[in-house]
Amino acid sequence: MAENVALIAGARGICGRALVEHLDDDPAWEVIGISRGPKDFSAGARFIALDLLDRAACEAVLGNLSHVTHVFFNAVTRPSTAAQKAEEALAILVNLIEVIEPVAANLKHVQLMQGTNWYGSHLGPFPTPAGEDDPRMMPPNFYYPQHDWLVERRKGKSWTWSGLRPHGVYGFSSANPVSHLNGLALYGAISKELGLPLRFPGRPGHFERIYQFTDARHLAKGMVWAATSPGAADAAFNFTNGDFQRWCNLWPMIADFFAIPAGPVQTIPLAAMMADKEPLWAEMGRKYGLRETQLADLVDWGFNERIWATEFDQLSSMNKARKAGWTGVVDSAEMLLRLLGEMRETRIIP
Ligand SMILES: NC(=O)c1ccc[n+]([C@@H]2O[C@H](COP(=O)([O-])OP(=O)(O)OC[C@H]3O[C@@H](n4cnc5c(N)ncnc54)[C@H](OP(=O)(O)O)[C@@H]3O)[C@@H](O)[C@H]2O)c1
């Protein structure tokens, strides 16, 4: 019997899936995933189909998971307003913890996946390098009610909590079109198919400013580190690859990957310009023997358009994690080439 039992909420998503895959071959861990949809990748983990917004369903399905030792909370809903998102974020966490905690006698840790949006990076410039204790932004911010509720709930309990704040998580999930990686990979593949150079489609300032990435696999190692290291207990940590980059430095390398020239910046409204590309994608699928996918399932172009429009530095300090014992680092340029290569090997892109 495994020493640890991980209950991973959001197990089909970019972050959750990376953790499922990371723990898959580890005999010290049994893994149980939660999502509404079915497991859509190969892993030994048992998946439970559950809508965490449905309290009665949580009670019916989770009440017998008495052997869970660690909860990794990576689920996120995507309603249209920030206020509704904050409300739902709290509801899905409360529905899970209030059901699991009383039955899981050996519960050791509950971890929240947060992000640089904690500092308001999705809204505009924020003080950099961001530190974990920086003043909060004007609410609503969906991370805050989850965080405050969990910290309060932990008081007087034997289990501990942690929070991780990655930025720009690069990993694959076929269940989430809000994906940095898919947007980059499909934009490159379509540019090549149309005989175009790889022009940067975002704003000039984004091309030049400092950016930071988080490799989903690296994040998965960090999740386990934060959940099992006494020095990381009851704290939140920024969590990135640990290097900084600029798209202008990376762009020639990405163009090389697609074997096309690196073009200059040409800002385009991606969502509008890609709206007619579904037939082209279907044709490319037949021509190159790709896995059968719909563009709309893989990419939310509006997301990439928003991300690539931000014209300010995005930096988080990793000092707190390092002082607490985290030593990992990923070269973001190598990460991009590896992930694009994997998308080619798995026949998502030509
Ligand atoms: N991706 C990034 O670049 C990034 C960067 C920084 C921080 N983060 C943070 O990391 C966390 C996870 O993000 P992600 O990108 O991994 O999200 P994601 O890919 O959209 O995954 C979300 C997961 O939640 C599940 N889910 C959604 N609604 C649910 C519900 N009502 N009940 C049960 N499961 C539900 C989804 O599966 P089903 O649809 O099958 O239910 C999916 O498994 C979020 O808090 C996000 O803010 C992400």
CATH of the domain at 144: 3.40.50.720
Statement to judge: residues 146 and 111 lie in one domain? yes
46-79 residue pLDDT tens: 999 999 999 999 999 999 999 999 999 999 999 9
53 and 183 co-located in one domain: no
Q: Is 303 part of any domain? A: yes
Q: Is residue 221 located within the same domain as residue 248? A: no
Domain assignment of residue 321, yes or no: no
Residue 1: C-alpha distances to residues 5, 19, 34, 109, 143 (Å): 10, 20, 21, 19, 34
Which ligand 1 atom is at minimum distance from the Cα of 179? 1
In terms of phi and psi (left: phi > 0; alpha: psi -120 to 50; beta: otherwise), the region of 150 is: alpha
Closest C-alpha among 3, 176, 156 to residue 74: 176
How far does residue 17's CA lie from ligand 1's centre (Å)?
Answer: 10
198/222 same-domain check: no
With the most atoms of ligand 1 within 8 angstroms of its CB, the residue from 7, 14, 332 to mutate is 14
Choice from 8, 12, 15 to test ligand 1 binding pocket (greatest atom count within 8 A of CB) = 15
88 Cα nearest atom in ligand 1: 31
Question: Measuring from atom 4 of ligand 1, which residue has the nearest CA?
Answer: 169
Residue at 129: amino acid letter: P
Q: Domain check: are 74 and 32 in the same one?
A: yes
Helix (H) or strand (E) holding 273: helix 270-273
Residue 323 maps to a domain: no
Containing structural domain, residue 162: 4-169+213-238
Q: What is the pLDDT of residue 174?
A: 86
Do 84 and 37 lie in one domain? The reply is yes
| 320, part of any domain | no
CB atoms near residue 288 (< 10 Å)? 13
Same domain, 40 and 93: yes
Q: Considering the domain boundaries, does residue 350 fall inside one?
A: no
R_g of the chain computed on alpha carbons: 20
User: Concatenated DSSP letters for 65-110?
Assistant: -TT--EEEE------SSHHHHHHHHHHHHHHHHHHHHHH-TT--EE
> Which domain-ending residue is among 223, 238, 253?
238
> Residue 164's closest CA among 252, 239, 82?
239
The token pair at 216 is 């989903």
d(C-alpha 42, C-alpha 46), whole Å: 11
pTM: 0.98
Residues 131 and 261 in one domain: no
Distance CA 302, CA 13 (A): 19
Query: What is the CB < 6 Å shell around ligand 1?
Result: 10-16, 34-37, 50-53, 74-77, 92, 113, 115, 166-169, 173, 175-176, 178, 180
Length of the chain: 350
Residue in 76, 87, 306 to alter for ligand 1 test, most ligand atoms within 8 A of Cβ = 76
Q: DSSP secondary-structure letter at 233?
A: T
Question: What are the C-alpha distances in Å from 275 to residues 269, 278, 300?
Answer: 10, 7, 10
- For residue 37, the tally of other CB atoms under 10 A from its CB is 11
What's the gap in Å between 260 CA and the centre of ligand 1?
33
- Report how far ligand 1's centroid is from the alpha carbon of 51 (Å): 13
Give the pLDDT of residue 175: 83
Q: Are residues 153 and 302 in the same domain?
A: no
The total number of structural domains in the chain stands at 2
Task: Extract the residue ranges of the chain whose pLDDT is less than 70.
Answer: none
